Each structure stands twice: as C-alpha cells, then as structure tokens.
Amino acid sequence: MKPSHIEHIGIAVSNLDEAIGFYEKVFGLKCYNIEEVAEQKVRTAFFMVGQTKIELLESTDPDGPVGKFIEKKGEGIHHIAFAVENIEEQLVHAADMGVKLIDSKPRKGAEGLDIAFLHPKSASGVLIEICENRNK
C-alpha cells in the first residue's frame, strides 16, 4: 500500500474536554478542531504533532464503535490511520491479499477525509484506518 505517513492516531476517551485539557496542559498542544461525526457516533478533537494528528474520540452513543470499545476495554488507543493515495485501489488490493475489510468502499470521515477500516482480526488486533485527503 505504501502509506506516506501516519495521518493520525485515534484515542478513545470518556470525557473529551478533560482529555483536551491534558494534551493542552501537558504537551502545550493546541486543539485546532472539534467535530462531530454523526455517522460514526463520535465527537472528535484534533491536535497536530509534526505531520501526524492525535484524534481524541468521545462516543455520542453507547452502541457506537467507540462506546462499545470503552465499555469492553476502557480508554486507550483505538486505531491507527495511514495516509494513502487511490484508496479504492488500495482496498481492492488488500481484499485480494485476504485482508478482512470493515469497509469495502471509502466513506466520509472527520475533516472531509475519505476513510475505510481494516478489521483488527486481520491486523494483529489493531484497528487500522486508511485515509485519503482529496481536499488538498
């Protein structure tokens, strides 16, 4: 797939405001965007660290993916997102290699990115997102 970089690391948090305070106070980072992604049942907050973002994820619904994750495992790293080009082609390529896909086609994620998830069962227990920024 040759990702160009880690686009973001998604961290599941119980309280978005408290978690934002931690990154702002301890690391002196500035939260530059807070956005609700209704389809994913999350409210997200973003920080830039070099080329990579930290994406804090607070669930808006206990039955959403982040709500279920926190109930099962508690707060923590939820997913890693790789920046790719030609996301549709990459999904076909991954499926051809036997990777279990959560999304066979990209959907719209936070910040207008086209995103798709690979199943953690195919990736050593890590939920991996691939994403493409076509707004550049």
Residues contributing to the site for ligand CMX (CB under 6 A): 10, 37, 40, 42, 44, 55, 57, 65-66, 68-69, 72, 78-79, 102, 109-110, 117, 120, 125, 127
Half-sphere exposure at residue 26, Cβ-oriented, CA atoms within 13 angstroms:
7
Q: How far is the CB of 17 from ligand CMX (least distance, A)?
A: 18
List of residues 6+ apart from 95 with CB closer than 8 A: 101, 104
Going by C-alpha positions, the residue among 110, 112, 80 that lies closest to residue 11 is 80
Q: How far is the CB of 2 from ligand CMX (least distance, A)?
A: 22
Rounded CA-CA distance 36/89 in Å is: 28
Q: Which is nearer to ligand CMX, 92 or 126 (CB)?
A: 126
Q: Which is nearer to ligand CMX, 69 or 82 (CB)?
A: 69
